[in-house]
Amino acid sequence: MHLHTLPIDEALARLNTTAEGLSEAEAARRLASFGANAVEAPPREPLWRGAARQVTHFFALILWLAAALAFVAEHYQPGQGMATLGAAILGVIVINGAFSFWQEYRAERALDALQRLLPHAVRVQRAGVVRLAPARELVPGDVILLEAGAAMAAYFFVLHAGGWQYGQTLAPTDPLYRAATGACLAAIVLMQVANVWLCRSARGALFAGNGRPSPLLFWGIGFELLLLAAILYTPWGNQLFGTAPLAMDAWWFMLPFPLAMLALEEARKALVRRWRPAEQPAGGS
């Protein structure tokens, strides 16, 4: 079933949901039925076992055998240089194993870093109310709000500004490709910051005194922005994440997107407050 090829109404009907989203009770039932929206990582192999695997595979065993034969030949016919050959073979085994182990270790660390960059919470609409929900709790039929438009717009803006033409292939190490990747990441982070502020209230205005924001909110936003700056503007961040520093015009291009989302969501909340007034508590004046 290719849902992306169906009309919106038919796709919603196939998933037994509506444009208003699932109810909280139905979402909880589907979560219990389908399980968490996550792929459980397999148990991590101990480092010592990974290192041992690099020197005990088939070709390494052949080299071990060759080294052993060289030392045996040196024992029975000394002075023929077999000991030197055996030591050289052992050096090849150790160097190749160490290099392979280091490459595998770095790849695992890079994947872990990328996993931490993935959004752990998304804006989901349930029963007509938009709120922030853990990504693990999404279920089939949930209506989620995506910010991919800003990310892709920033990506292609940087490419176009750098002279890229449609159909041109860029290597992953190309500075223009790395800058476009950084712009995509930056746009996602800016939209997430706007999301955090918007999801503080389902219907209240942003500056209507909905309670003082938690200091953790400011700390979290500050840490995310500092991490983004490190990824974009430090050599280790560029090397690890495949990014490059962004020019100021890229930031000016991205800034209207979170501001527009703030304005549109505030307009939606204003309409909700007008059309669906909050119920007065029992006995209220």
Residue 116 has pLDDT above 80, yes or no: no
Question: How confident is the prediction for the chain on average, in pLDDT?
Answer: 81
Count CB-CB contacts under 10 A for residue 46.
Answer: 9
So what's the pLDDT on residue 275? 72
Residue 130 has pLDDT above 80, yes or no: no
Please measure the distance between the N-terminal and C-terminal CA atoms of the chain and give it in whole angstroms.
Answer: 54
pTM of the model: 0.48
Instruction: Determine which of 94-108, 136-150, 252-266 has the lowest per-residue pLDDT on average.
Output: 136-150
So what's the pLDDT on residue 224? 87
* 132 class by beta-carbon count within 10 Å (0-12 exposed, 13-18 middle, 19+ buried): middle
CA distances, 66 to each of 17, 75, 140 (Å): 66, 14, 57
Which of 13-17, 43-47, 109-113 shows the highest mean pLDDT? 13-17
Instruction: Tell which wins on pLDDT, 276 or 266.
Output: 266
Residue 276 has pLDDT above 80, yes or no: no
In the block, tokens 């073979």 appear at 89
So what's the pLDDT on residue 233? 94
Average pLDDT for 122-137: 79
Residue 283 has pLDDT above 50, yes or no: no
User: What confidence category does residue 213 fall into, taking pLDDT thresholds of 50, 70 and 90?
Assistant: low
Average pLDDT for 54-77: 90
User: Tens of pLDDT along 169-183?
Assistant: 788 888 998 999 899
* 208 class by beta-carbon count within 10 Å (0-12 exposed, 13-18 middle, 19+ buried): exposed
Residue 232 has pLDDT above 90, yes or no: yes
So what's the pLDDT on residue 248? 92
Residue 206 has pLDDT above 70, yes or no: no
